[in-house]
C-alpha cells in the first residue's frame, strides 16, 4: 500500500512530483505504471521501493511500514524483500552470471536455496549461460539474468523501471512474457514503469499518472485502450 506526496526542493523551486497518490497493489499481480514524461512514474516507483522518502504519507510492504524506517533497516529490507530490474541491467562485469544472480544472497549472508536457484535460472532461460561474464551475453540474455537476480531472494515484489527500454521489440516481448510468467507461475508481484503501451499490456493492471496524480486504473489493458489514454494525457 502506498499513499504519498513527494516534493523536490523548497520555496520557488519546489516541484510537486507526487501530489497525493494512494494505491494498493494486489499480491501476485503484474501492475504497470504509465504517464507522460515528468508525470512522476520514477518518483512513485522509488517511493514504493524505499529508495526515496516521501514528503508525506506512508508506504507499506505487506505488514511492514517503510516510512520512518532507519536507513540500515531499509537497506536490508530492499535487499531481502524487493527485487530490482533496471533498463541498464546493472550486472557486475567482473563476475560470472551465476555470481551476479546469487549476489543479493551473499550480500544478505544467506546461503542459496539450490532448488529455487535451479528453478529460477531454468525458468528465465539462462541455465546454460551461468559460467559466462555479462559481456558475453546479448542484451536480452543480460536482462534475463537481471530478472533471475531479482527473483533469487523470493522477494515480496519486483520493481522494474523501463526493463525493456534498451531492447529491440522482439527481445522486449520475450522479457515481458517472462515477467508475466514469473507472476503466473511463481506467484511473484511485479510493479513496472514503462513508456511503451505494448509493454504495459503484458500487465494485469495499468496505473496512469499525470502531473503527480493517479488519474486512471485500467484492468486487462489492450494496446488500443492504453494508447487512447496516453493520447488523452498528452502523449502517444
Ligand X SMILES: Nc1ncnc2c1ncn2[C@@H]1O[C@H](COP(=O)(O)OP(=O)(O)OP(=O)(O)O)[C@@H](O)[C@H]1O
Give the binding site for ligand X (CB under 6 A).
8-9, 15, 17, 35, 37-43
Output 165 or 173, the one with its CB closest to ligand X. Answer: 165
Q: In this complex, which beta carbon is closest to ligand X, that of residue 13 or of residue 111?
A: 13
Q: Which is nearer to ligand X, 101 or 191 (CB)?
A: 191
SS3 233: coil
Residue 108 DSSP one-character state: T
DSSP letters, 195-218, are S-HHHHTTSSEEEEEETTEEEEEE
Q: Which residues of 26-49 are buried (b: 16+ CB within 10 A; e: fewer)?
A: eeebbbbbbbbeebbbbbbbbbbb
CB 48 within 8 Å of CB 41: no
**Alpha carbon distances (Å) from 63 to 60, 116, 163, 165, 232:** 6, 25, 27, 32, 37
Distance in Å, CB of 195 to ligand X, minimum: 6
**CB of 50: closest distance to ligand X in angstroms?**
16
Closest to ligand X by CB, 9 or 223: 9
The distance of closest approach from Cβ of residue 47 to ligand X in the complex, given in angstroms and rounded to an integer, is 9
Smallest separation (angstroms) from ligand X to the CB of 7: 9
Amino acid at each position: 500500500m502506498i499513499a504519498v506526496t513527494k516534493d523536490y526542493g523548497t520555496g520557488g523551486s519546489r516541484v510537486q512530483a507526487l501530489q497525493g497518490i494512494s494505491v494498493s497493489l494486489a499480491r501476485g499481480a503484474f501492475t504497470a505504471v504509465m504517464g507522460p514524461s515528468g508525470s512522476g512514474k520514477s518518483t512513485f516507483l522509488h517511493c514504493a521501493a524505499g529508495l526515496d522518502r516521501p514528503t508525506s504519507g506512508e508506504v507499506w510492504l505487506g505488514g511492514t511500514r517503510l516510512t520512518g524506517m532507519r536507513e540500515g533497516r531499509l537497506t536490508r529490507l530492499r535487499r531481502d524483500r524487493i527485487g530490482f530490474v533496471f533498463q541498464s541491467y546493472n550486472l557486475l562485469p567482473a563476475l560470472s552470471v551465476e555470481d551476479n544472480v546469487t549476489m543479493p544472497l551473499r550480500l544478505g549472508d544467506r546461503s542459496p536455496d539450490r532448488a529455487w536457484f535451479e528453478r529460477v535460472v531454468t525458468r528465465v532461460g539462462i541455465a546454460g549461460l551461468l559460467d559466462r561474464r555479462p559481456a558475453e551475453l546479448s542484451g536480452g540474455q543480460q536482462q534475463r539474468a537481471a530478472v533471475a537476480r531479482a527473483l533469487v531472494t523470493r522477494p515480496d515484489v519486483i520493481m522494474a523501471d523501463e526493463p525493456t527500454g534498451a531492447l529491440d521489440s522482439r527481445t522486449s516481448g520475450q522479457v515481458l512474457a517472462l515477467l508475466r510468467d514469473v507472476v503466473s507461475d511463481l506467484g511473484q508481484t511485479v510493479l513496472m514503469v514503462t513508456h511503451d503501451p505494448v509493454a504495459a499490456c503484458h500487465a494485469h493492471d495499468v496505473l496512469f499518472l499525470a502531473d503527480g496524480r493517479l488519474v486512471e486504473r485500467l484492468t486487462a489493458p489492450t494496446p488500443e485502450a492504453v494508447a487512447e489514454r496516453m493520447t488523452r494525457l498528452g502523449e502517444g
